[in-house]
Structure 1
Amino acid sequence: MKKLALVIVLLSLMNCSEKEIEKIAVELPKDNPFNVALNESFDYAKVTGESIESYVDYEIEQAVQTIEVIKSQSTPSLENTFLPFDAVYNKLSQAGSNSFMLYWTSTDSITRVKGIEYSQKVDSISTAISSDKELFKQFETFAASEAYSKLNNRRQRFVDDIIDNFKQSGINLADDKLDKVKTLKAEISDLTSQYSINMNTANSVLTLDEAGADGLPESLKEKYKTENSTYEIPAQPSTRGPVMDNATNPETRKAYQMLYSNRGADKNLEILNQLVKKRYQLGQLMGYKSYAEYNLVPKMAKNPETVWKFVNDLIAESKEKAIQDIEVLKTARKKLDNISIDEDLNAWDLAYYKNQILKTEYQVDAEKIREYLPMSACLSGMFELYQELLDVEFKKIENASVWHEDVLAYEVFENDKLKGRFFLDLYPRPNKETWFYAVPLSSGKQMEDGYEVPVSMLLGNFTKGTDELPSMITHGELSTLFHEFGHIMDKMSYEGEYSMQSDTKRDFVEAMSQIFENWIWDYDVLSTFAKHYETGEVLPKELFNSMVNAKNVSSGISAQGSLRNCIYDMNLYDKYNPEQPIDTDQLWRDVDNQLGVMDWYVEGTHPQACWIHINTHPVYYYGYLWSEVYAQDMFTVFEKNGLRNQETGVRYRKLILANGSQRTVDEAVEEFLGRPMNNKAYVKSLGLE
């Protein structure tokens, strides 16, 4: 069904007149690559900046006019008010998400520019809609009606969540304050985009001679060797581990960290200052003491006090182990480089000496293990596991229309029924977003003529293969792959009636992907695909056992490092004082002093200038640990029933992944567990019990 027909069906549901239908029936050009039938893929290969403009303008026009029709209803009902609003939300979300995704991934500069411009345009209209008091009055009128009281729990939650979202947008504020809120949101959106552009276009490169490159993996050296026999290594996520884990020369490690932690700093430090200030002002306008207090209302934690207690409890749990870890690293440094144990450990030494311990004491060499993990085999093994466990099937789309030749496309089926579609964009390239994400492009939703399946994309930056060597990943990167693909399967699993119920609470969302990281620590699973890229030899069981034994080396440091980020994030957004603005460099020093483990902060660096979370996901970082507690507890069910037990996997898919927000998180988790959740499995996973 084409766009015109979709609009007519929507308006028919709303009992609109023929005149109203004629008013809204403006067609998207037939040759626009976004003009497709239900569950056809967008024709990404043909997308241009002009087609993004046309597509987004079309969806915005439909949204605005449909909202006007909703507001004209004399007797608001679920059918003529909330269902068409869900349809508006669905289409605007698709337009905004796809525009932003192409800004992150397109090789065409004009498409990238139009992608960010028009995703911001969607943000602006979404803000305007969420500030429409006439529309909100229609919602409240229905919520007070007898018809609302007769809805089942899931539909009442649907109505309640929409109303709560409007309240969270400031709908009850006086008009002058609401106008300020809209202005602030637009300014914040613009600043976050500028921040991302500055970070992703920094192009910081470390030039090394042979001595400086000592210890680096040969595959990395080969990839970045110049005609002058030097090495020009870009400071980006795909090279961080290989350099910081292996560079023998401490000056190389320090120089790399300086470059990596200063990407975009010349502009982003001031942008961050403005973001923190404006978010504080937004929180104040909304009637809260801090932005964090405002931001946490719709999350599981609900308030800063809960987050601070959660974080502080974990600090206490992991501090002793972290201090012990530091001493272990110092001992290794003394043994390897004859540096006194009394001398402080530098931040750029943490990964290197941990890696040396793994290699010398546990015989675990990440670069050797990489040889058993070619990307093609890892993808095949991961697909096989997810398909078996969740009882679904992936089918590759041959000759798919995609935005770059490296991108792969798949459809997901359950008993021959289409469940969703996903894309894999796994390798770095110029101007592409540099991190690792699962990017939702479309939510599942019941339509008049069938079910619109969800669509997602895995954006990665793994090391790409060369003519001599295939793409190979470390075991840590395999964990990232399993994690991000867990997000993909979360989206593919949704089968709810409304698109607005497809998302879970923001501080639980990581749990549904973190749980899947556990499977790569099972030899029966890993050995099915971990085979040497040259010989085909299976990863030796002895080596795997050593990996397991070494799993909690520096686990205390890792936990404290994550908590350090949580504290930093929460300080920015919960402790801001406009009369004494935060010095974002000094804050790192203050947090290190508070933790009392070591000085992580490297003078002259500004990691806050290239940290995506505090830019686009403020008051979020604690959610990784919050989610991890749930993830490890849910994994105990698989440990009990079997890691390949399909009955448990399908039950997990149906109860947890497919839920979105149709039921409360704790209700769904408790049913899956058969008991209330606890943190015992998480504490055990860190080796702290």
Structure 2
Amino acid sequence: MDNPLLQNSRTPVDYPSITLQNMQVAFDYVLLAHEQGIERIIRDQQALPTWDDMVLAVDGLDSQLLAVLYAASPLVGRDEAWASAIFDFFAKATERFEQKFTNSALHALYERLANSDIGKQLDAQKRATLRWHLQKFISSGASLDPAGKMRLAELLKQIGAAREAFRSNINRPGLSITDESELSGIPQRIRDELATRAQEAGEPGWLIACESVTTDAVLKHADNRQLRERVYRAYNTRGVGLGQQQDNRSHLEQLAKLLEEKAHLLGFASHLEQSLHTKSAGSVAQVRGFLHDLAGHVRPAVLQWRADMQRQAAAKGLGSVQPWDIAYLQASSREVLSTEALREHFPLNAVVSALKQLADKLFGVTLQARPLATWDNSVQPFEVWQDNALIGFLYLDAVQHAGKQPDSVFTTYIRNRRVDAEGIFQAASVVVYSDVPAALPGSQPLLDHLSLRKLFHEFGHALHHLLVRTTNHVMSNVTELGTDGVELFGKLFERWVWDADYLVAISSPRQDGSKLSRTRVDECLRRLRQQGVEETARDLSMALFDLDLHGTPNDGRSLEQRLGDAREQCGYWPLADFEHPAHAFDHLVNGYDAGYYAYLWSDVHAFDLFTRFEAQGLLNRATGRALQEALLAPGASRPLREGIEEFLGRQASQLPYLRWHGLK
């Protein structure tokens, strides 16, 4: 077929050729092909289910459906018609997979193959694939009676509606400024960006969008305390509305209860238990123990940090510290190298070169820039080669541009590496998104340290996906390691930009020719590390809240009580009366419900893994290859803990993380 979305894995998508019409044709085609294909497989495999004609046949249908969905996803920002079509397809694709995994006849065929003499003689990866399917069928409701399946379908529909209602309430209009004196302290570059946003919106002056990057920049730099308060209040009242439908409290509480009922229907004690069943960190008791132990280490340091903030506020005549003062006070404490000065040494092109070098040095991976068709001129496409073989495609969408969703920092896995039933290799494909501010006229995009961390983090996800060496769609799907297993590799690759020598090595001279010195980088990193305690406390409080909400959603406690208890446990600031962070906590509707702890768990383990690179060299090929063999190549085919212990040669330890943060 000549449809640009229905090509094979070695033919990159011709994005300029995609229209609403041929995109809809592709959507309809793969949905029908998947439904009819599953019916045909069930009919034809009754006599003797086989690996090639059943497992790999289903594998191919799943891969094709998801490839069309994820390949189209960058186009969601074109306009409402495109967004509506893609979201509608996403809902139908989700329903299609729900129907597949509640199909008792298909479940029975997988059981027959797994329990047959042929199934028992399959290699370890194939047996792991069959075990995964059997667990997936059970946890999806394939064994329920007709009444149970009907109730499950009703619950899934209600869960989807609650999630969509929650998302729709988060967006808020920006804050328009017409008096430039209010922007005192904000660097000229950021003012120019705010002016550009206003022009794009057809408004005069400057527009402070209600987005994390813009909000953080204003809170960090604005001398005007009233402006900081207005911006902070706007951002931290997202999802708060007057009516029940407009206020996310009701949607979040309803969602937690629906997920609990669904878990009970499927035989789990709670949604929390069901969620952890598919993750890498262990049982409910193990994850709770991990968070509570970490809170015990963090709390004294956070209380000390709060006292330091209060002293700084008093010295500046601010009185009691307010939540909109914190970022400003921390930014004001930097004495040697400001974020603005640091970013001038990291133009995007130089950073991309550093990422390419990192992949090459560690894994022998070559990223070859190619003039592939993309959805925006700023997107950088690459062919990915290893050992003289094309292993996939990488699209780097790093810069904010028209049609791109605000705060877009994530990685999309378009195709998983696999070998089909005919023995033909199917290459992987991945998109890395980040939110680097677009360059002003006459310059190029520049990255501060946070932008560096985000980009290296997402690049870690991309490498994980590309360096898997399993041979079917399911085992090559790194998301099957759970949010904690996935985030481990993003957190690991952040560690490189916390190394002063590495930062100096990849930096570029400023326009005036001045170079970045090791002394200046050391000072900057020291200041940023001091702020890490606050970031840890914030993430830890939300992780504790998440576990509380999804562990006991029916105990009658309010969101504010749960948040208050979580913040108290780790020593974090009490909430102001207007603050409702849970109302915009979109992780809970985007796959991280009962799993937000993953960021902390993966960070702790990433510090530990990085100790081997620190000892053997940050660009050491042997260490990189060992990482690939132990942790990247197996994909979802074996428990992550086994790979961690193999790579380290010992059990994992929290000590590197605690020592780095000054908590031990």
* Change beyond 3 A, Cα 1:532–1:208: farther
Q: Which amino acid aligns with 1:471?
A: P
1:355 paired with 2:331, answer: yes
8 Å contact kept, 1:319–1:556: no
> What is the CA–CA distance in structure 1 between the aligned matches of 2:323 and 2:107, rounded to whole Å?
52
Aligned ranges 1:307-326 → 2 under 5 Å: 307-326=287-306
User: Is structure 2 residue 268 aligned with structure 1 residue 292?
Assistant: no
Shift of 1:551: 4.1
Partner of 2:529: 552
- Alpha-carbon shift at residue 313 of structure 1 (Å): 0.5
The code of the aligned residue for 1:50 comes to Q
Residue matched to 2:221: 246
- Could you tell me whether the CA contact under 8 Å between 1:60 and 1:122 is conserved in 2? yes
2:334 paired with 1:334: no
Given candidates 641, 645, 656, the residue that maps to 1:666 is: 641
CA deviation digits over 1:112-165, x for unaligned, max 9?
Answer: 110110011110110000000011011111122122221222221111011111
Q: Distance in 2 between matches of 1:533 and 1:259?
A: 36
> What is the aligned counterpart of 1:412 among 377, 380, 384?
384
Residue number among 675, 681, 689 corresponding to 2:650 in the alignment: 675
Q: Tell me what 2:181 maps to.
A: 211
Does 2:153 correspond to 1:182? yes
SS at match of 1:245: helix
Matches within 5 A, 1:510-525: 510-525=487-502
Distance 1:542 1:302, change over 3 A: closer
Alignment match of 1:94 (pick from 52, 67, 75): 67
Q: Is the 8 A contact 2:219 2:228 kept in 1?
A: yes
Q: Contact 1:52–1:118 at 8 Å: present in 2 too?
A: no
The equivalences for 1:81-160 within 5 A come to: 81-103=54-76, 106-160=77-131
Greater Cα offset, 546-555 or 221-230: 221-230
Measure the CA separation in 2 of the matches of 1:113 and 1:244: 34
SS in 2 for 1:461: strand
Aligned equivalents of 2:401, 2:74: Cα separation in 1: 15
Aligned counterparts, 1:368-517, within 5 A = 368-398=341-371, 400-429=372-401, 432-435=404-407, 436-447=409-420, 448=422, 450-502=424-476, 503=478, 504-506=480-482, 507-517=484-494
Instruction: Report if the CA contact (8 A) 1:445-1:498 is conserved.
Output: yes
Is 1:263 aligned with 2:202?
no
Distance 2:414 2:6 in 1: 15
Identity in percent: 23
In 2, distance between residues paired with 1:47 and 1:455? 18
Q: For 2:289 and 2:148, locate their aligned partners in 1 and report how far apart those are by CA, in whole Å.
A: 33
1:60 to 17, 31, 37: 31
Alpha-carbon separation, structure 1, partners of 2:32 and 2:423: 23
d(CA) in 2 for partners of 1:274, 1:46:
42
Instruction: Supply the AA of the counterpart residue of 1:666.
Output: R
Distance 1:404 1:549, change over 3 A: closer
Q: CA deviation at 1:268?
A: 5.4
The structure 2 residue matched to 1:50, chosen from 15, 18, 21, is 21
Structure 1 distance, partners of 2:164, 2:405, is 12
Q: Is the 8 A contact 1:170 1:178 kept in 2?
A: yes
Amino acid in structure 2 at the alignment position of 1:44: Y
- TM-score, normalised by the number of residues in structure 2: 0.92
Change beyond 3 A, Cα 1:150–1:268: farther
1:50–1:331 CA distance, 2 compared to 1 (3 A): same
Distance 1:160 1:425, change over 3 A: same
Q: Which residue of 1 aligns with 2:599?
A: 624
Query: Structure 1 residues 415-424 or 530-539, which shifts more?
Result: 530-539
Q: Deviations over 1:388-443 (max 9, x none)?
A: 22211111121x22222222211111133111111122233465332310111111
Q: Structure 1 residues 175 and 229, CA, compared in 2 at 3 Å: closer, same or farther?
A: closer
> Take 2:65 and 2:84, find their aligned partners in 1: how far apart are those partners?
19
CA apart distance, 1:193:
3.6
Candidates 598, 604, 612, aligned match of 2:578:
604
Cα drift, residue 613 of structure 1: 0.7
Shift of 1:521: 2.5
Distance in structure 2 (CA, Å) of the matches to 1:667 and 1:453? 27
Structure 1 stretch displaced more, 227-236 or 487-496: 227-236
Q: Secondary structure at the match of 2:577?
A: coil
1:19 is matched with none
Give the gaps of 5 or more residues in structure 1: 1-29
CA drift at 1:330: 1.8
Deviation of 1:301 (Å): 3.3
Distance 1:37 1:60 in 2: 17
What is the CA-CA distance between 1:167 and the residue it aligns to? 0.9
- Maintained 8 Å contact 1:184/1:282: yes
- CA deviations 1:61-106 (Å, max 9, x no partner) are 2222221232221112222322222222222222333344433xx3
Q: What is the DSSP-based 3-state SS (H/G/I as helix, E as strand, rest coil) of the residue aligned with 1:480?
A: helix
**By how many angstroms is 1:583 displaced?**
3.4
Within 2, Cα distance between the matches of 1:263 and 1:322? 26
Listed as ranges, the gaps of 5+ residues in structure 2 are none
Residue 23 (structure 1) aligns with:
none
Closer/same/farther in 2, CA of residues 64 and 339 from structure 1, 3 Å limit: closer
Task: Provide the residue aligned with 1:17 in structure 2.
Answer: none
CA distance change for structure 1 residues 189 and 396 in 2, over 3 Å: closer, same or farther?
farther
SS in 2 for 1:139: helix
Residue 207 of structure 1 and its aligned partner are, at CA, apart by 2.5
User: Secondary structure of 2:576's partner?
Assistant: coil
2:283 corresponds to? 303
2: CA distance between counterparts of 1:673 and 1:592?
Answer: 34
Please name the residue that 1:276 is paired with: 256
- Opposite residue 287 of structure 1, the aligned amino acid is G
Residue 449 of structure 1 deviates from its aligned partner by 5.2
Q: Separation in 2 of the partners of 1:619 and 1:43?
A: 38
- RMSD across aligned C-alpha pairs, in angstroms? 2.2
SS in 1 for 2:286: helix
Distance 1:521 1:555, change over 3 A: closer
Per-residue deviation, 1:311 = 0.7
SS in 2 for 1:94: helix
Deviates more, 1:429-438 or 1:485-494: 429-438
C-alpha deviations, 1:269-316, integer Å up to 9, x for none? 143333223222212222333221222112123432222111110000
595 and 674 in structure 1: CA distance in 2 versus 1, 3 angstrom threshold = closer
Q: Distance in 1 between matches of 2:559 and 2:399?
A: 32
> Greater shift after overlay, 510-519 or 262-271?
262-271
Match of 1:539 among 516, 519, 525: 516
Asked whether the equivalents of residues 372 and 539 of structure 1 are also in contact (C-alpha less than 8 Å), the reply is yes
How many residues end up aligned between the 2 structures? Answer: 646
Single out whichever of 294-303 and 568-577 deviates more from structure 2.
294-303
Q: Secondary structure at the match of 1:142?
A: helix
In 1, Cα distance between the equivalents of 2:144 and 2:513? 65
Asked if the contact 1:493/1:654 (under 8 Å) is kept, the reply is no
